[in-house]
Structure 1
């Protein structure tokens, strides 16, 4: 039986859209739900285009997580995938989905992780630190921001002429290429 995935996303959802496409005909898993904390998030349109059910919760619902958890359990969700989700995952969900919440971070953790380190904030920090490489970290989620066990890291060079925007483009290319296969490998082990 296919594993049922719920993607949590707050923004445009390019990674979520790539995952919906990747798992559309996958024999091991399918994306059955997209959860967002923003009713105007672009990811909701991607879900509609892929005929994937959506749920929008208020930020306050992610404090205890009880209502979110109940909705996931009603839909028999096996794994949660965070794809640009900008809320801390409540301990209730972490306990219920131990080792079954997967996140992607746009840097090579443990560098450039933690609260407030997302999107262009990360790429700007990488550039300002003079790093010669960056990349992505796909990891399990625990109670601390960007702290869980690493499933995979992929790298790309940072050249002297790179800007935070060009770094973001390189990193996004890695995300789109490796996120789906890494999730598939983890859930089929």
Structure 2
């Protein structure tokens, strides 16, 4: 398995998988990372880790089809066969979806299908969980399809929502399970 990543900010799930590859916990090679944010910490650590990196964004390529084409070409040319979204804040274009169909995974900070879909990302998800009075939350790894957060679920990890939780405490509890959950899901995906 040859992993590539799309990240907009820190790319913590990607970082966890890269380390798992290096530690022999995942039989895979991390090869590339693309960010739509030129100041992304993920670009910096990925460069230092020896991955091929690229900043490809709508600011550089306003035409969505051209951006999709450039991302796809970069990823395919890197030799990647599996694509992991790690806090990537943009919709995936049809060419990338097709090139990595069945091998494109995302992690979402709730128990999908609850609190998923357009506009539900990052802190907004945790705020929605708290506003709904949910007693549990967690993270979901799913295959990416054309619909936002609608692909088949590969793995979920549950965490309690505790009395007195605020955005920071709930977010920290969910983030604490994301790395291992993603690792588990990618290991399963790697099985023949």
Query: Is the pair's TM-score, using the shorter chain for normalization, greater than 0.5?
Result: yes
Q: Whole-Å Cα distance in 1 between the matches of residues 106 and 42 of structure 2? A: 16
Q: Whole-Å Cα distance in 2 between the matches of residues 182 and 99 of structure 1? A: 13
Which residue of structure 2 aligns with residue 43 of structure 1? 42
Q: Which shifted more, 108-117 or 23-32?
A: 23-32
Q: Whole-Å Cα distance in 2 between the matches of residues 62 and 24 of structure 1? A: 37
Consecutive aligned runs of 4 or more in structure 1 exceeding 3 Å deviation: none
Deviations for 1:86-141, whole angstroms, at most 9, x for unmatched residues? 00001111112111100000000001001111110000000000000000110000
Q: Does 1:85 align with 2:79?
A: no
Which residue of structure 2 aligns with residue 14 of structure 1? 12
Counterpart mapping for 1:88-127 below 5 A: 88-127=91-130
Q: Whole-Å Cα distance in 2 between the matches of residues 181 and 23 of structure 1? A: 13
Which residue of structure 2 aligns with residue 135 of structure 1? 138
Unaligned runs of 5+ in 2: none
For residue 177 of structure 1, report the CA deviation from its aligned partner: 2.3
8 Å CA contact retained: 1:62, 1:89: no
For residue 156 of structure 1, report the CA deviation from its aligned partner: 0.4
Q: Whole-Å Cα distance in 1 between the matches of residues 158 and 93 of structure 2? A: 30
**CA RMSD, aligned part only?**
1.4
Which residue of structure 1 aligns with residue 33 of structure 2? 34
Q: Whole-Å Cα distance in 2 between the matches of residues 61 and 5 of structure 1? A: 27
8 Å CA contact retained: 1:8, 1:35: yes
TM, length-normalised to structure 1: 0.94
Match 1:179 to one of 179, 182, 186: 182
Q: Whole-Å Cα distance in 2 between the matches of residues 173 and 16 of structure 1? A: 14
Deviations for 1:48-72, whole angstroms, at most 9, x for unmatched residues? 2322221110224682211111112
Q: Which shifted more, 113-122 or 27-36?
A: 27-36
8 Å CA contact retained: 2:11, 2:87: yes
Compared with structure 1, are the counterparts of its residues 45 and 133 closer, same or farther at alpha carbon in structure 2 (3 Å cutoff)?
same
For residue 181 of structure 1, report the CA deviation from its aligned partner: 2.4
Matched position secondary structure for 1:147:
coil
